[in-house]
Amino acid sequence: MPAALPLVLAGPTLRHCDQDNFTLWLVSSKPMNELTLTLAKKKLVLQQEQCHEVQLGEKAWQYLIQVEQKDFLCVDSAIAYELTDSQHGALFSSIQQLNYQDKKNPEFVIKPQIDNLLHGSCRNPHHHSGDALVAADTRLSQDLSIEARPSLLMLSGDQVYVDDIAGPMIYAIGEVIKLLGLPQEKFNDAALSGSAAISYHPAALYQRQKNLLPKTQYQAKTAIRRWYINHPIFTSSLAENHLITLGEIIALYLLTWSPELWDQIEIPKEVAGLSVANNTRWNREWLHLLEFKAGLQQVRRLMAHLPTYMIFDDHDVTDDWNLTAKWEQAAYGHPFSKRIIGNALIGYALFQGLGNAPKKFKAQITPLIDAHFSQPDEATQDRLIDELLKFEHWHYTLKTSPKLVVLDTRTHRWRSESNLAKPSGLMDWESLMELQQELVGQSNVIIVSAAPMFGVKLIETVQRTATMLGGSLLVDAENWMAHPGTANTLLSIFQHRKTPEQFVILSGDVHYSFAYDIRIRFRKGGPKIYQITCSGLKNQFPEKLIPIFDKINGWLYGHFSPLNFFTKRKRMSIRGRRPNGARSKRLMNQSGIGMLDLAKNGAPTKIAVLHTDMSETHFDSPRKE
């Protein structure tokens, strides 16, 4: 028999916090009554507008606490917080291993001057690598001083993998849907009439791409034309258990962050009805998920003590999300695929987007969320999805020094005019001009771009070749240089006289880590640009391929190679940093979390990756400045 549901199912997680704002996220198994927030010595009885409640299911309520007052919080000092309910008492007192050392309550620090931060992306629960968020918690527990504490935790994409779900995980998702009474829904133009008909029995797994996911009939005039006919809209190579319903999405997020929910369900190790290959796969995924579960208490503790910010990338919604205009036509023109994408966006808004910048959602999105969850039906769900697909404010900035600018590289695409099947630009002209306005007047800035602005040129060349053959979806041909308009406008921004003299670009996505020092060729002075990529938190590139790509890229596109003058970024001089001083290596393929230290002028003084075995990789400067 499972234990009784704990009062707090997930959280507490600190979200947008600065001198004027305090934002806290949690999910409970019972509704709250009158909540009182204690911050250090301040006590505040929360009003309705400061406590956004969403009933996710029969036994699940999400709360986003958001207090905004001018100079509300002091900076550079530890602030303990506590949340008390008039009926249930102190909400966090019974949560095991929530606090560090002998502290009574969790604490956080507001550091508007960013002197160090943590960043990472790509956290896949069933990947064989360890969870770098656990390593980050261990590191934080060793030194809680104000000086050592990171200013924030930046998660730059693929916080969840909606399109790549392990068999045991989707079994667990089915159990959580029943346990919490998560919502059911009806489908249009689908193989099943609704979510109630979906089977979570192990024998039904690993085949959603055959039985549930919709397909398109569009054609492409390419050398591999036949591959596009009746091609799946959802193109992930691991789409056998692609999530479909809103209830599944909610359950995934809770299982990604909640250690308690795992104790409520029992996933069988031995199952019947699977093929030999899938049975082997089930056992492997079952083991990796047990390892993932074991670290969740530490992950929760870390996110309860560091202000945490997030932005989506493709796997938060689906692989190849908006990669080409042709894909968009197929995906949004089919009612069932539009619902699947929309459900993932609802999940992102609830569990990630709202906490980044709550005010951005209040007028357009929050009322529709409230309307749907207070009385779930097909009409309110479709209306919410329509507005989320039109929503233009996923991006945000932080009032820090350096200013931190988080980009939306998924929904403002610069679509190809020559061929709708070619990759779209990651941001269109209007969005890039808006970015430029954010940069004007700043001496230095931190930009968060899910995909690296300056990536591994060899891999980009492979993607370009595949695009010419019509296979852009096959190789995820998605990079800043793939679209001429986006590439040229971006490079012009870096060269503009009124934009900052120093850029730090934080990226993920690629499942390996690297750091570049970038300058403008043939110009004295000019901006200093640092491309810092850390990926993934719990993911890695195929081990046998990355050394080959690294070696060939060094031969063809090394710092002194004349081939660089035939690329779009020919005006830029790019020099890769060597991981731990390795002689002929630029890429590090080991899961980890990025650690960045900055001087007062915003220049990096330490670029490193903390790995799950607590070892570190340092990317030291390739030359003296």
Q: Which residue has the higher pLDDT, 203 or 306?
A: 306
Nearest of 307, 133, 77 to residue 141 by alpha carbon: 133
Checking if the pLDDT of 133 tops 90, the result is yes
The region of weakest confidence among 171-175, 515-519, 535-539, 566-570 is 566-570
Domains of the chain: 8-109 (2.60.40), 116-156+395-618 (3.60.21), 167-309 (no CATH)
Helix (H, G, I), strand (E, B), or coil: what is residue 532? strand
- Assess whether pLDDT exceeds 80 at residue 222: no
With cut-offs at 50, 70 and 90, classify the pLDDT of residue 230. Answer: very low
Q: Is the pLDDT of residue 558 over 80?
A: no
**Token reading at 510:** 């690629």
Furthest CA-CA distance within the chain: 71
Cβ-based neighbours of 345, under 8 Å, separated by 6 or more: 317, 385, 388, 389
One DSSP character per residue, 425-471 reads: BSS-HHHHHHHHHHHTT-SEEEEE-SS-SS--HHHHHHHHHHHHTT-
pLDDT-derived band at 227, boundaries 50, 70, 90:
very low
Determine the pLDDT at residue 471: 57
Cα-Cα end-to-end distance for the chain: 64
pLDDT at 210 over 70: yes
Name the most confidently modeled range: 150-159, 273-282, 466-475: 150-159
Instruction: Say yes or no to pLDDT of 472 above 90.
Output: no
Residues 6+ apart with CB under 8 A from 275: none
Looking at 162-215, list the stretches that DSSP marks H as alpha helix, in order from N- to C-terminal side. Answer: 167-180, 208-211
316: Cα separation from own chain's centroid: 6
Residue for token pair 């430029």: 436
Strand ranges inside 283-342, DSSP E: 308-310
236-280 tens-digit pLDDT: 656 678 999 999 999 999 999 999 999 999 999 988 888 899 999
Handedness of CA 551, 557, 561, 563 (dihedral sign): positive
In the 8-state DSSP scheme, what is residue 350? Answer: I
pLDDT for residue 231: 55
Q: Does 386 or 228 have the greater pLDDT score? A: 386
Name the E strands within 464-576: 502-507, 514-520, 528-533, 572-576
Residue 302: is its pLDDT beyond 90?
yes
Which phi and psi angles does 223 have, rounded to 5°? -65, -20
Mean of pLDDT over the chain: 89
Confidence of residue 34 (pLDDT cuts 50, 70, 90): very high
Please report, to the nearest 10 degrees, the dihedral formed by the alpha carbons of residues 492, 158, 597, 446 taken in order.
30
- Alpha-carbon span 39 to 176, nearest angstrom: 33
Question: Computed from CA positions of residues 522, 525, 526, 527, in that sequence, does the dihedral angle turn out positive or negative?
Answer: positive
Report the pLDDT averaged over residues 107-131: 97
Nearest to 117 by CA among 339, 406, 348: 406
pLDDT tens track for 367-416? 999 999 999 899 999 999 999 999 999 999 999 999 999 999 999 998 88
Q: Return the higher-pLDDT residue of 546 and 228.
A: 546
391 versus 469: the higher-pLDDT residue is 391
Q: Which of 450, 447, 426 minimizes the C-alpha distance to 435?
A: 447
Q: What percent of the chain has pLDDT over 90?
A: 67
Using the predicted structure, report yes or no on whether residue 466 has a pLDDT greater than 70.
Answer: no
Residue 584: the pLDDT is 82
Q: Which helix (H) or strand (E) element contains residue 604?
A: strand 604-611
More confident residue, 353 or 235: 353
Q: Is the confidence at residue 624, as pLDDT, over 60?
A: no
The model's pTM is 0.93
The pLDDT of residue 123 is above 80: yes
Which of 204-213, 355-364, 471-480, 493-502 has the least mean pLDDT? 471-480
pLDDT band at 474 (very low <50, low <70, confident <90, very high): low
| CA atoms within 13 Å, Cβ hemisphere of 392 | 7
**Given a cut of 50, is residue 228 above it in pLDDT?**
no
Q: What is the pLDDT of residue 66?
A: 97
Summarised one tens digit per residue, pLDDT across range 51-99 is 999 999 999 999 999 999 999 999 999 999 999 999 999 999 999 999 9
Maximum mean pLDDT: which of 65-69, 231-235, 553-557: 65-69
Tokens of 446: 């931190």
Per the structure block, which two tokens stand in for 105? 């309550």
Residue with tokens 């008909």: 197
pLDDT of 202 reads 82
Query: Would you give the DSSP letter of residue 391?
Result: -
Give how far the C-alpha of residue 246 lies from the chain's centroid of Cα atoms, to the nearest Å.
18
Q: Which residues contact 17 (CB under 8 A, 6 or more apart)?
A: 23, 73, 108, 110, 307
Lowest mean pLDDT among 50-64, 148-162, 198-212: 198-212
Contact between 526 and 520 under an 8 Å Cβ cutoff? The reply is yes
